[in-house]
Chains A and B, each alone.
Chain A
Amino acid sequence: MQTKRFRLRYDKATGLLLISPWLIGFALFKLIPILASLGFSFTDFHMLEPDNINFIGLDNYVRLLQDEAIPYLILATLSTIIWIIPLQLGASILLAALLNSPRLKARTLTRTLFFLPSIIPSVAIAFMWLGFLDPGTGWLNRFILMPLGLDGFNGIYSDAAVAILIGISSLWAIGPGMLIMLAAMQGISHEILEAAKMDGAGPLVSFFFVTIPMITPAIFFSLIINLIALFGGVILLDRGNTFSNGSSPFDGYISFWMFDRWDIGYAATLAWVFLLIVLIVILLLFSTSRRWVYYPDRE
């Protein structure tokens, strides 16, 4: 006869016990640090003088409002988002549609090869980009620009080169988003597509007016994933971007104050403002989602 304590019962106490690892982790690694960041943001905490911390009220926030870099950073972050997110979504929808076609040969291998760049370490991508764009020995000049009769590319650290790096690494990060879209496309019932065909819809019409509206939940999910990745968060796959190599300029600016200047107080202030911006963007997205995302349960 076993004791009653170890019997399986669906009660709240057992549930709490089971999720307690996450609850403790949440308190230790999320909640307390977030509150501590808020606390730091009201002080002049400097890493080199951890014993001399003074409460300075809203001084850091006043400083942030007067920081001339901030408007530029927000603008730069937004302008990155504006071209990267549509690029990623468009590419992953297009790829998913191609890879979903019954005409495709060697389907699993082709899908894997398109997915493969998503697991390449960022270090390898940075090295590849350095070599590929290298004016002397790289292939961009030799096999792409020169044969087209264009001028050779020389500015390895120019804005254009950085844009190419961000473009490559974001196009190479669409793997998970593409798989989610693919799964959503496979989930569309044949009856709906057949019905569209009977009504005279061609492949393009049925793609834009049946497939796309049906996969809006997947599009929304990928949108959130890609956005969080740009904001320096981690979802599903992380290739280990270095701090200086993040694609969000705002994120890089926080790193600068934290690791180069050791000014914890100001870095925490920046991080909190950044958190608020991210939360506002995500809440806005969720509030518009009711209008364009298709939820089958609601009908």
Chain B
Amino acid sequence: MILQSKRRHPLTPSSYLSLRRWESLGTGLFNLLVFSLLIVYLFPIVYMIATSFMERQQLGDRNAPAYPARQLRYEYEGKEYKIYNVPVDDTERELALVVPGLQASEFIDPQNPEAGLIPWDGNWRGLVGVYEFKPTLDNFSIIFRSLRITDMVRNTIILAIITEIGVLASSIVVAYGFARFPLPGGNLLFYLMIATILLPEKITLIPSYFIFVRVLGWNGSWWPIILPFFFGNAVFIFLLRQNFKSIPKDLDEAAMLDGAGPIRTLISVILPQSWPVVITVALLHFFYMWNETRQAALYLSTRRDLVPISFGISNFQSLAPMQNQLQASALLIMIVPVLVLLFSQRHFMRNLVVTGAEK
């Protein structure tokens, strides 16, 4: 009877309450879904971080936990013995394995060593050890000893600063030209620039490589990597130009009346209103430069002292290190872009969205 009346009048105060409860339950479930998805999506990163802090012994141990851990040990009569969870008389006891055997083993109780060895029937290999959380930084110190990490980071930073200046200055000036000035052929040149974004890299790579290496003799130098950036980047020019176009022209014209030239106008009128997109472009270029390996592989393979970080570490695998060292090196190269992204997230995420939407 009560149920029926509820069904007939769905908007009574009591059902409002349950509607709100449904609503918050839905929100809870929705967030649970999104965050589980996030964990699955980032699962290999979790693996990488956990493994890079593990000791060598843990890698081969199938019973070890997923976090960096070390099996507890107990010192007995001058020797160290590993501690296991041993089922004795329906309870689990933490005992140190002294005499391992496939049929029967002998243990010592760390709480009560005076009681002497405890015999136990069963295969000790089936036992699960007792672990404590114990991260190690050894993997990182091995990498720092076997690779010239500080040199590589220094190279990357120098390259990033030089190319950042080049690509920002040229892209800003070109974008200003495309945004404000009439050009011969109307928008034709602009469309041509957009079309160059779609070119596969190989088509230009073959002759460029020949000219840089054979004609100019720039093998083993930074010139082939740096030089192209001083002529602008089509994607950045596009993003900047979209932003410049959205700035009202009135201010330009006021500057024009004051007798300012184009570069003055760009610096004192356009740029102060465009910092968000300029910073976004600068971040995009930084991510690119940090991750760069292709150009380095082409031109720097003969000069170990000039290689940037990502390319330098990409060779680490050929030294055949253990998984924990390999994962530590992966963590080492991705930590910088990840931190930069996390610190700039409010700015970067919003502006990439805004500039992307202008298309």
Measured between beta carbons, the chain A residues less than 8 angstroms from B228 are: 25, 29
Measured between beta carbons, the chain B residues less than 8 angstroms from A233 are: 197-201
Measured between beta carbons, the chain B residues less than 8 angstroms from A109 are: 345
The answer to whether A110 touches B34, judged by C-beta atoms less than 8 angstroms apart, is yes
Residues in A lying within 8 Å of B, measured CB to CB:
2, 6-12, 14-19, 21-26, 28-30, 32-34, 36-37, 40, 47, 50, 98-99, 101, 103-105, 108-117, 119-124, 126-132, 134, 136-139, 142-143, 168, 171, 176, 179-180, 182-184, 186-187, 217-218, 221, 224, 228, 231-243, 251, 254-255, 258, 264, 267-268, 271-272, 274-275, 278-279, 282
The answer to whether A243 touches B317, judged by C-beta atoms less than 8 angstroms apart, is no
Neighbour of A19 across the interface among B183, B264, B294, CB < 8 A: B183
| Distance (whole angstroms) from the CB of B257 to the closest CB of chain A | 9
- Kindly specify which of B88-96, B105-113, B131-139, B168-176 makes contact with the partner chain: B168-176
- Tell me whether A18 and B177 are in contact in the complex, defined as CB-CB below 8 angstroms, given that A112-B349, A132-B44 are known contacts: yes
Measured between beta carbons, the chain A residues less than 8 angstroms from B183 are: 12, 15-16, 19
- Kindly specify which of B71-79, B157-165, B204-212 makes contact with the partner chain: B204-212
The answer to whether B354 touches A183, judged by C-beta atoms less than 8 angstroms apart, is yes
Residues in B lying within 8 Å of A, measured CB to CB:
26-27, 30-31, 33-35, 37-38, 41-45, 47-48, 51, 59-60, 62, 66, 170, 173-174, 176-178, 180-184, 189, 192-193, 196-210, 214, 228, 230-232, 234-235, 237, 252, 255-256, 259-262, 264-265, 284, 287-288, 290-294, 297, 310-311, 313-314, 317, 323, 326-327, 329-331, 333-334, 337-338, 341-342, 345-346, 349, 352-354, 356-357, 359
Neighbour of B231 across the interface among A29, A168, A180, CB < 8 A: A29
Neighbour of B349 across the interface among A26, A37, A115, CB < 8 A: A115
Neighbour of B356 across the interface among A9, A179, A242, A268, CB < 8 A: A179
Neighbour of A128 across the interface among B48, B62, B196, B356, CB < 8 A: B48
Neighbour of A29 across the interface among B182, B197, B208, B359, CB < 8 A: B208
Neighbour of B181 across the interface among A2, A6, A11, A171, CB < 8 A: A11
The answer to whether A21 touches B202, judged by C-beta atoms less than 8 angstroms apart, is no
> Which residue in chain B gives the minimum CB-CB distance to A105?
B31
> Which residue in chain B gives the minimum CB-CB distance to A35?
B207
A101 to B45, CA, bound (A): 26
Measured between beta carbons, the chain A residues less than 8 angstroms from B293 are: 121-123, 240-242
The answer to whether B206 touches A21, judged by C-beta atoms less than 8 angstroms apart, is no
- Tell me whether A108 and B345 are in contact in the complex, defined as CB-CB below 8 angstroms, given that A34-B204, A274-B202 are known contacts: yes
- Tell me whether A25 and B177 are in contact in the complex, defined as CB-CB below 8 angstroms, given that A128-B327, A137-B59 are known contacts: no
The answer to whether A21 touches B173, judged by C-beta atoms less than 8 angstroms apart, is yes
A134 to B47, CA, bound (A): 12
The answer to whether B310 touches A121, judged by C-beta atoms less than 8 angstroms apart, is yes
A8 to B177, CA, bound (A): 12
Neighbour of B333 across the interface among A2, A14, A124, A187, CB < 8 A: A124
* Selected A-B contacts with CB under 8 Å, 30 pairs: A7-B256, A8-B255, A8-B260, A12-B181, A19-B177, A21-B232, A26-B192, A33-B203, A33-B205, A33-B206, A40-B207, A112-B342, A116-B42, A120-B337, A121-B333, A123-B333, A130-B326, A131-B326, A131-B327, A142-B62, A176-B352, A183-B356, A228-B198, A237-B284, A237-B288, A238-B292, A240-B310, A242-B297, A255-B202, A279-B198
Measured between beta carbons, the chain B residues less than 8 angstroms from A232 are: 200-202
The answer to whether B199 touches A30, judged by C-beta atoms less than 8 angstroms apart, is yes
The answer to whether B349 touches A111, judged by C-beta atoms less than 8 angstroms apart, is yes
The answer to whether A113 touches B330, judged by C-beta atoms less than 8 angstroms apart, is no
A251 to B201, CA, bound (A): 9
A246 to B66, CA, bound (A): 32
Neighbour of B262 across the interface among A18, A183, A271, CB < 8 A: A18
The answer to whether A30 touches B326, judged by C-beta atoms less than 8 angstroms apart, is no
Measured between beta carbons, the chain B residues less than 8 angstroms from A171 are: 41
Measured between beta carbons, the chain B residues less than 8 angstroms from A236 are: 235, 284
A116 to B357, CA, bound (A): 20
The answer to whether B291 touches A240, judged by C-beta atoms less than 8 angstroms apart, is yes
Measured between beta carbons, the chain B residues less than 8 angstroms from A23 are: 189
- Tell me whether A117 and B202 are in contact in the complex, defined as CB-CB below 8 angstroms, given that A12-B181, A128-B327, A240-B293 are known contacts: no
Measured between beta carbons, the chain B residues less than 8 angstroms from A176 are: 352, 356
